[in-house]
Amino acid sequence: MTTLTSAPATVPPAAPKGRRMPPWLRAVIVVVIGVLILSVTATLTNQLQLTSRGTMQAAVLLALPILFAALGGLWSERAGVINIGLEGMMVLGTWGAAWAGYNWGPWAAVIGGMVFGALGGVLHAIATVTFNVNHIVSGVAITLLGLGITKYLSTLVFLPISHNPRQSPLLEGFETFSVQPLANGLLAVENQQIAPLSDFAGLIGGLVSGLTPLAVIGFALVPISYLVLWRTRFGLRLRSCGENPVAAESLGVHVFTYKYAAVVISGGLAGLGGAALTLNPGQLGYLEGQTGGRGYIGLAAMIFGNWRPSGLLGGAALFGYVDGVQLRAGGEAVHALLYGASILAVGLALLWVVRRQWKTAVFAAVAGAVVYAIYFTIDTVPREFATYAPQLVTLLVLAAASQRLRPPAAAGVEYRRGEGD
Amino acid sequence: MPAAEFAVELAGITKRFPGVVANKDIDLKVRRGEVHALCGENGAGKSTLMKILYGMQQPDEGTISVDGSVVRFRSPSDAIKAGIGMVHQHFMLADNLTVAENILLGAEGMHGIAGGARARIAELAETVGLDVDPGVLVERLGVADRQRVEIIKVLYRGARTVILDEPTAVLVPQEVDELFETLRGMRAEGFTFLFISHKLDEVRAIADAITVIRRGMSVGTADPATVTSRQLAEMMVGSELPSPETRESTVTDRQVLVVEGLELAGEGGGRALLAGVDLVVRAGEVLGIAGVEGNGQTELVETIMGMRRASAGTITLDGTDLTKRTTLERREAGIGYVPEDRTRHGLLATQSLWTNRILGYQSRSPVSKGGLLGLIDRAATRRDTQRIVDEFDVRTPGIEVAAAALSGGNQQKLVVGRELSGEPVLLIASHPTRGVDVGAQAGIWEELRKARARGLAVLLVSADLDELIGLSDTIKVMLRGRLVADADPSTVTPEELGAAMTGADAAPAPAGAGE
Amino acid sequence: MTRVRTVLLPPALAIVFAALLCAIALVISGDSPFTALAAMITQVGQGTTAIDIVNNSAIYYISALAVAIGFQMKLFNIGIEGQFRLAACVAAIVGGTLVLPPVVHTIVILLVAAAVGAAWAGIAALLKAYRGVSEVISTIMLNFLATGLIAFLIRDEVFGDQQGNNISTTPIPPSGQFPGIPFGSSGTLFGMVFVAALLGLGYWFLLNRTRFGFELKASGESPTAATAGGVNARRMIIIALLLSGAVAGLVGLPELLGRDLAYTLTSPQGYGFTGIAVALLGRNHPLGIALGALLWAFLDKSALALDAVGVPREIVLIMQGSVVLSVVVAYEIVRRYELAAEQRRVAAELRAAAEKVAA
């Protein structure tokens, strides 16, 4: 070792291991804190609608299409295909559901929506998987095509019946049902008006009453998607295509098949989202433009949820809830939410102070102060803004947290068979 | 035990790609229970041949026999069924999946995906010496452990014949020894290995038989017990070997690049990527940086280039402080940069050669006419591109063809030619001859030597220790973001460098895991 | 020759394919494709159709240019829609309020529109450059927010005027309008058509003759290589999106300054998405986009003509959607084929040269 002169090397200490909390416990804690904040807000601002059963029922109905679209995004992106065509597939789904539903009843509508959405998925898969077209380009094109096809078909099929090319005839919907005796019990508690007990009762009551089978399917699909994607062979293979398709292929995984399957399932889910719109008890039938960009919002909810089923459920719930509050209680209730948001910001600031992340804490505190100042200076949020509150929240959340998100490594990346080394 | 003598037999394999014949009438016979080395220089067609054997590509002509019977592989799964597995040079692992998931993928049917699988994985982990929890994400593993995971993947599928594509390229000598121990143990258990390499000493150390291919054709077999490295090399190249040795010293005492106390913080508050790096490169000097990949060499180069922002320290070029400058300003100050991955960092693949001439020079003559809009002087750019093509012997039908149409060696010559244009005072060359053919390699070494003689300062990062020792005037060893040792290239051996690269003599460091 | 083939063949094939698809759809629904085709072709000579097509294509052209600027560096500005609508709305408000001499007034309105479009895109730019937020998602969200903002701005207690069922901004006085060229009964050509042409020229020049254009293309082709070549990725993202937004801001102006003079609740929508489709059709090339814009406007106009002969007008939407989808597939196939062919050609020429030396 004569020619080597070594400098003293210091081995850096290993990073401390963070304490692990089981994910379900975390979720429960987050939900409880959220409800507590809402409860405090509702009480202090006297906006009792914030936690009422009616608001929650509206929220569930509004969240459902977004949830389906978000699940669609999850399936597709986990297999590495970005699906911005969800909107188009959803539009196809609304028509398919209306057509099948008009002819054969509500269950046929569910199937019809799914099949039409899945057809959009097939197109997206052909373009992106077989022909390697840029995923966003293909998604935009499919949305255009989906709009065109639906308009053409409704002129052809619905115009003679409903005398309106933009609308289908009224459909037969699902009967709604409530989980008894839980629903009635909760209602009794809600009517006592004891904070925060009544608030919990109102919110949970909204979840278990006025349900349709489609809502049950939607909520069941969240754990089902998790189990299939993370606990089965099919799911492992599908995710591997989204993480490292070259590796997957080298292990004999037929990447094409899995990507096709994922994108078609994704389309089917988006189509279900369309069916959920068509079968909405408040407005049974196809109506041109009824998706209103919910496919895109579903995608946002999925990103918000960090490409995980539980996360996207949270995202969809947030969208649905703010929408529901806006719809049921109007601008003043949304205004009250600002108050809640400032409480949340202060809470987060304190949390980060405890964790000694000073910069983030200051950021949260300032954000809280700004939101509170807005709350203080205006009396109501103008209707035009209240409508788009969820989009604003998405933008803010992405701005604050996008660097902590973890999309599938190969999402959107071109992949051609046999090209890896 | 099958009766056939040969585990694998390839006969008359021919494979054509657009414009090239990758394999031409190749024969290869591998006996059961031997380590059979396949040698050839980069681009000789080794990898294509192995992809054919592994079913990733189909031969245009020729037959494959396994255990004496002719087979046809339409996909890797056919090959896997026939008991053939492959460990790729570039690991085929999904970072965001766990070790167990990576192993199970595609073979879920064998032992399920729960308890049975876990038991089998634990068993195999012992065979190859992998000591990590199968539940951790692969992204947390070091290189040697990743390779072990790759080998387990193959074994898990019941492979009896294992193709190892350049398995030692990413390992340091000590890890190579460990790998060879594992291979010998498994050979004793009856496994057959096809070992692809162009590192001849390693081949002679491990192989029982050697087949050499050159320019897509098999040129013969050799007995590792009797053949010398020199003879093997000449079979591979077909002529005299070039050597990377530099002649007399041209080092001056003018300090061109001075780096002091350079620090680069880790992402998300992790371990620092660079810590306290000090170095000086003088005019006419080649400073070599040795190190196992992933120890901060890439980060060092990219920080000097301004592609990453240093968290502390200064970078001075010819007395000018560059620490706060942008990448373009650093280039304008006289740094030429040959990146380690030319296709990712050096070239615009679908653009013409002359458009590629602009990259990095978009603000300077002869490419730019200057002015508020920064007009591009297309005629002058084309002329200068033609000059590079002529001077650096870039084999191309013209300067209008897309960069992707050229071979790797010619692409690299274009990059080197471009980066030596505009009279740089410092050249940063990362793995300048990686993945290029021998002819281009010799050409690039010659250009580096000429530039050094003209007084250029060169910072050379390379994984090829022979290249590093041959070209450098001084060598520094990098380990976990620090420069931990100096070496004199005139006396140091690759083994000694390897020891310093793993920190074997400096500090007792845990191997692989714990990154 | 090969160049013409590779550039023109894919769109031609895509159009034929889409037309066939529509013909089949028409036959199935019991209509005659030939009647439809005849109606579509003869409409061009009738009434104001020809001028309308050119006017509309100018709008689509500007929108597609805005998209193409982003596409050049693989930035997907899906937010042209929101940018142009907000810009038109604010420009209408400013234009209707200010009192300025002619020409200056018009120029101020153009500048305001460009600035608003750029500012709205700038939000996405900053989020992308500093927070790593995908511009696809942020611009989609911004589209929604623009809708809300516009609805707020033209409320009658803010800047709007209730007029019957509609709400409108104060009309822009003649000094702020952009004069067109009247063709009598054939209609009036928007003056902004020439602005659109100038923008196309500027786009071509910027892209092919300047450092910015090179850096834009380099960033799109390989962000890593661009960074190593001294291109500041963050700066490029911001400039490209601002520029795209500024051009997008002008999309609504041909109609605003040449015909409508005020922004109303019913002002046209959807040009942003049309722009994406047209940019894809024209493969981001200034001439290609022009042809794409004309085709799109022609198809749009055909809807009315088809209605007149009893063919469902929505067939046009299917035609447009399928043209876009098939053209992107066709371009992709040809691109791959082209590269392989070039590699073959290079290898063959090198072999020939080597043999010549050996001989």
Q: Which residues of chain A make contact with B117, given a CB cutoff of 8 A?
A: none
Residue C3: which pLDDT band, with cuts at 50, 70 and 90?
low
Whether residue A231 is contained in a domain is answered as yes
CB-based contact A9 B96, cutoff 8 Å? no
Cβ within 8 Å, pair A144-C324: yes
Q: How many CB atoms lie within 10 A of CB C237?
A: 22
Number of domains making up chain A: 1
Confidence tier at A341 by pLDDT (50, 70, 90)? confident
Question: Residues 324-343, chain C: which have Cβ within 8 Å of B?
Answer: 339-343
Judged by a CB distance cut-off of 8 A, whether residue A16 touches chain B is no
Mutate to test the interface with C, among A132, A152, A166 (most CBs of C within 10 A): A152
| Residue A258 in domain | yes
Shortest alpha-carbon distance between residue C138 and chain A (Å): 6
pLDDT at residue C359 in the model = 59
Q: Which of A269-278, B290-299, B414-423, C247-256 has the lowest mean pLDDT?
A: B290-299
Residues of A with CB under 8 A from a CB of C: 84, 123, 126-127, 131-134, 136-138, 140-149, 151-152, 155-156, 165, 293, 296, 299-300, 303, 382, 384-385, 387-388, 391-392, 394-395, 398-400, 402-403
For residue B354, give the chain C residue with the closest CA.
C214
Instruction: Categorize the per-residue pLDDT at C147 as very low, low, confident or very high, splitting at 50, 70 and 90.
Output: very high
Which residues, in sequence order, are CB contacts of A228 under 8 Å at separation 6+?
Answer: A234, A235
What integer best gives the mean pLDDT of chain B?
85
Residues of chain B found within 8 Å of residue A421, distances taken between Cβ atoms: 47, 88-90
Residues of C in contact with A300 (CB under 8 A): 137, 140-141
Q: Of the candidates C226, C230, C353, which has its C-beta nearest B326's C-beta?
A: C230
Task: Name beta bridge partners: B476.
Answer: B289, B486
In this prediction, residue B510 carries a pLDDT of 36
At A4 the pLDDT is 55
In the prediction, which pLDDT does B380 show? 93
| pLDDT the model gives residue B395 | 86
Bigger pLDDT: B238 vs B221 = B221
| C-beta atoms of A402 and C131 within 8 A | yes
Interface test with chain B among C207, C211, C357, by most B beta carbons within 10 Å = C211
Higher pLDDT, B36 or B2: B36
The answer to whether the Cβ–Cβ distance between A140 and C276 falls below 8 Å is yes
Range of weakest confidence among A138-152, A171-185, A394-408, C119-133: A394-408
Q: What pLDDT is attached to residue B333?
A: 93
Question: B with C: how many residue pairs have Cβ under 8 Å apart?
Answer: 112
Give the model confidence (pLDDT) of B144-202 as tens digits.
888 889 999 988 888 889 999 888 877 777 788 888 988 898 888 888 999 988 777 78
Which of B337, B395, B405 is closest, CB to CB, to C343?
A: B405
| Lowest mean pLDDT, pick from B80-84, B108-112, B252-256, C171-175 | B108-112
Q: Is A228 on the interface with B (CB under 8 A)?
A: no
A6 part of a folded domain: no
Burial category of B350 from C-beta neighbours within 10 Å (exposed 0-12, middle 13-18, buried 19 and up): middle
Look up residue A179 and give its amino acid.
V
Which chain B residues contact residue A244 at CB under 8 A? 92-95
Q: How far is A251 from chain C (nearest CA, A)?
A: 26
Q: How far is CA B5 from the centre of its chain?
A: 35
Query: Reduced to 3 states, what is the DSSP secondary structure of residue B116?
Result: helix
Tens of pLDDT, residues C195-211: 999 999 999 999 999 99
Hey, how many other C-beta atoms are within 10 angstroms of the C-beta on B393? 15
Q: Tell me what pLDDT residue B442 has.
A: 85
C352 vs C50: CA distance, rounded Å: 54
Domains and CATH numbers, chain B: 6-237 (3.40.50.300), 255-343+424-502 (3.40.50.300)
Least confident segment among A196-210, B64-78, C322-336: A196-210
Start-to-end Cα distance in chain C: 32
Please check whether residue A46 touches B, CB under 8 A.
no
Q: Give the rounded percent of residues in chain B with a pLDDT score beyond 90.
A: 34
> Between chain A and chain C, how many beta carbons pairs sit less than 8 Å apart?
132
Distances C118 to B509, C79, C245 between C-alpha atoms, Å: 54, 11, 4
Contact flag C214-B401 (C-beta cutoff 8 Å): no
CB proximity A240 to B under 8 Å:
yes
With cut-offs at 50, 70 and 90, classify the pLDDT of residue C107.
very high
> B499 in helix, strand or coil?
helix
State the smallest CA–CA distance between residue A7 and chain C in angstroms: 32
What mean pLDDT comes out for the span C57-68? 97
Q: Which chains touch C (3 or more CB pairs under 8 A)?
A: A, B
The mean pLDDT of chain A is 86
User: Does the beta carbon of A11 lie under 8 angstroms from any beta carbon of chain B?
Assistant: yes
Residue B498 pLDDT greater than 80, yes or no: no
Pick from C213, C218, C340: CB nearest B348: C218
Alpha carbons B104 and A113: distance in angstroms, whole number:
36
- Subunits with 3+ Cβ pairs within 8 Å of B are A, C
Predicted confidence band of residue A138 (pLDDT cuts 50, 70, 90): very high
Kindly identify which residue of chain B lies nearest to residue A1, measuring between CA atoms: B496
User: Chain A residue closest to C28 (CA)?
Assistant: A156
How far CA A90 is from CA of A169, A290, C240, C350, in Å, comes to 19, 10, 32, 53
Residues of A in contact with C134 (CB under 8 A): 303, 402
CB C62 within 8 A of CB C199: yes
Check: CB of residue C63 under 8 Å from CB of residue C278: yes
- pLDDT on residue B512: 36
Q: Contact at 8 Å (CB) between B487 and B473?
A: no
Higher pLDDT residue, C24 or C345? C24
**pLDDT at C6 exceeding the cut of 90:** no
Put simply, whether C352 touches B (Cβ < 8 Å) is no
Chain B CA closest to residue C228:
B345
Please tell me the distance in Å from A105's CA to the nearest CA on chain B.
Answer: 41
Task: Return the structure tokens found at C352.
Answer: 């020939």
pLDDT digits (tens, 9 = 90+) for A219-230: 999 999 999 999
- Mapping DSSP onto H, E and C, the string for chain C reads CHHHHHHHHHHHHHHHHHHHHHHHHHHHCCCCHHHHHHHHHHHHHCCCHHHHHHHHHHHHHHHHHHHHHHHHCCCCCCCHHHHHHHHHHHHHHHHHHCCCCCCHHHHHHHHHHHHHHHHHHHHHHHHHHHHCCCHHHHHHHHHHHHHHHHHHHCCCCCCCEEECCEEECCCCCHHHCCCCEECHHHCEECCHHHHHHHHHHHHHHHHHHEHHHHHHHHHHHCHHHHHHCCCCHHHHHHHHHHHHHHHHHCCCHHHHHHHHCCCECCCCCCHHHHHHHHHHHCCCCHHHHHHHHHHHHHHHHHHHHHHHCCCCCCHHHHHHHHHHHHHHHHHHHHHHHHHHHHHHHHHHHHHHHHHHHHC
Q: Is C271 exposed, middle or buried (0-12, 13-18, 19+ CB in 10 A)?
A: buried
Q: Is the Cβ pair C350, B397 closer than 8 Å?
A: yes
Residue C148: list chain A partners with CB under 8 A: 384-385, 387-388
Segment A189-197 mean pLDDT: 79
B289-302 residue pLDDT tens: 988 777 889 999 99
Residues of C in contact with B20 (CB under 8 A): 347
- Give yes or no for residue C278 having a pLDDT over 70: yes
- Torsion over CA: B329, B332, B336, B341 (sign): positive
**Is the CB of A398 less than 8 angstroms away from the CB of C317?**
no
Return the residue of A nearest to C272 by Cα: A140
Question: What CATH number did the domain enclosing A296 receive?
Answer: 1.10.3470
- Does a structural domain hold residue A60? yes
Instruction: List, in order, residues 6 or more apart from C244 with CB less than 8 Å away.
Output: C66, C67, C69, C70, C75, C77, C80, C121
Check residue B47 and give its pLDDT: 80
Nearest-CA distance A266 → chain B (Å): 22
Tell whether A360 is covered by a domain.
no
Q: Which of B76, B95, B488 sits opposite A409 (nearest CB)?
A: B95
Give the range of the structural domain holding residue A255, as residue numbers without chain letter: 47-176+211-325
Cβ-based contacts of A243 with chain B (< 8 Å)? 94-97
Provide the pLDDT confidence category of residue B243 given band limits of 50, 70 and 90: low
The token pair at B328 is 């373009």
The predicted-structure confidence for C228-261, as pLDDT tens digits, reads as follows 999 998 999 999 999 999 999 999 999 999 999 9
Tell whether A349 is covered by a domain: no
- Among the listed residues A61, A279, A24, the one whose alpha carbon sits nearest the alpha carbon of residue A170: A279
Q: Do A243 and B97 touch (CB under 8 A)?
A: yes
Give the full edge-to-edge strand order of the sheet including B84-87.
B84-87, B161-165, B192-197, B35-39, B209-214, B217-222
Percent of chain C predicted with pLDDT > 70: 97
Contact C151 A384 (CB under 8 A): yes
| Alpha-carbon span C292 to A127, nearest angstrom | 21
In this structure, which amino acid lies at residue B157?
A: R
d(CA A407, CA B397): 43
State the pLDDT at residue B509.
37
B451-479: average pLDDT = 89
The whole-number pLDDT of residue A295 equals 93
β-pairing, B161-165 with B84-87?
Answer: parallel
- Whether B242 has a pLDDT exceeding 60, the answer reads no
ipTM here: 0.88
Query: From the list A5, A8, A252, which residue is nearest B486 (CB)?
Result: A5
A1:B496 CB<8 A:
yes
Contacts of residue C46, defined as CB under 8 A and 6 or more positions apart, other chains included, come to: none
Shortest Cα–Cα distance, B59 to chain A (Å): 13
Q: Which of A386-390, B35-39, B453-457, C152-156 has the lowest mean pLDDT?
A: A386-390
- Alpha-carbon distance B19 to nearest alpha carbon in chain C (angstroms): 4
**pLDDT mean over A342-364:** 85
pLDDT of residue A16: 40
Q: How confident is the model at residue B213 (pLDDT cuts 50, 70, 90)?
A: confident
Which residues on chain B place their C-beta less than 8 Å from a C-beta of chain C?
18-20, 305, 307, 326-331, 337, 339, 344-351, 355, 358-360, 362-363, 368, 373-376, 378, 395-397, 401-402, 404-406
Query: What pLDDT shows up at residue A107?
Result: 95
Q: How confident is the model at residue B43 (pLDDT cuts 50, 70, 90)?
A: low
CA angle B61, B63, B69 (to 5 degrees): 165
pLDDT of amino acid A418: 55
**A14 has a pLDDT exceeding 70:** no
Structure tokens at A82: 């970005």
- pLDDT value at position C339? 78
Q: Is the pLDDT of residue B403 over 80?
A: yes
